[in-house]
């Protein structure tokens, strides 16, 4: 992908007052490199298909080598330190043409050796871009937040495991597990996300939370 369009697509992941001051990374033949150095601790990039989970949900494994995937994401300062390195390693392994199983095994080994940072706190990332393409059957998905919640599972967020039918829902919360802890996928239209930032703060402090938007309960 040309450098300038990739920078613009990466910035589209978050509100301008965040992404304009965020560090921007672009993909090269050897992995991600800094194209613009920001000053607010956020980091935006365009993830490719190698970032798809290789553990759960299992149906996402087929996306690992889908060349159409473009997933603009903007990590908050905490996620930039503890979560982004995980995705960067996945991308490096993908560039080396590792299989989904090999990627998963290498990630597990990296955590065991201390080569990837532990995730001890809840963090989050914006995926608000209208131009995201998350693969066949998903496509230009709704603006949403990614909540990286170590050791959370579906019972803790009031959801059943993700199913194919969930892709058609406006609002859902689900937990996925990969090495390093869980992440909570928060599917939500942008109108609901602002109200739900209150919920993210509650998750970060390990308290119960609920949010209600125009489409009903989101937690």
Residues 16-56: tens digit of each pLDDT: 999 999 999 999 998 999 999 999 999 999 999 887 655 55
How many CB atoms within 10 Å of residue 191? Answer: 11
**Distinct helix (H) and strand (E) counts, the chain:** 7, 10
Domain count, the chain: 1
Indicate whether this model's pTM tops 0.85.
no
Reported confidence tier of residue 64, pLDDT bands at 50, 70, 90: confident
d(CA 75, CA 38): 13
Which residues, at least 6 apart from 46, have a Cβ–Cβ distance to it below 8 Å?
1, 6, 9, 10, 26, 27, 70, 71, 72, 73
Using the predicted structure, report yes or no on whether residue 212 has a pLDDT greater than 50: no
* 31: containing domain: 3-217
State the pLDDT at residue 142: 72
What's the rounded mean pLDDT across residues 66-86? 91
Distance (Å, rounded) from C-alpha 54 to C-alpha 51?
9
């Amino acid at each position: 992908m040309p450098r300038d369009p990739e920078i613009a697509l990466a910035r589209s992941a978050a509100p301008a007052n965040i992404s304009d001051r965020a560090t921007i990374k672009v993909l090269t033949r050897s992995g991600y490199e800094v194209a613009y150095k920001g000053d607010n601790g956020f980091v935006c990039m365009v993830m490719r298909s190698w970032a798809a989970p290789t553990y759960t949900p299992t149906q996402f494994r087929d996306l690992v080598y889908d060349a159409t995937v473009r997933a603009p994401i903007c990590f908050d300062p905490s996620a930039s330190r503890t979560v982004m390195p995980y995705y960067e390693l996945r991308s490096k392994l993908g560039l080396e043409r590792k299989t989904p199983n090999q990627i998963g095994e290498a990630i597990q080994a990296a955590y065991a050796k201390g080569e990837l940072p532990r995730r001890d706190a809840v963090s989050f990332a914006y995926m608000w871009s209208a131009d995201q393409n998350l693969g066949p059957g998903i496509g230009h998905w709704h603006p949403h937040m990614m909540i990286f919640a170590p050791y959370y599972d579906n019972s803790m967020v009031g959801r059943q495991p993700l199913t194919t039918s969930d892709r058609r829902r406006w609002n859902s919360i689900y937990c996925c597990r990969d090495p390093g802890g869980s992440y909570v996928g928060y599917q939500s239209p942008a109108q609901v996300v602002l109200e739900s930032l209150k919920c993210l703060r509650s998750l970060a402090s390990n308290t119960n939370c609920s949010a209600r938007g125009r489409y009903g309960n989101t937690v």
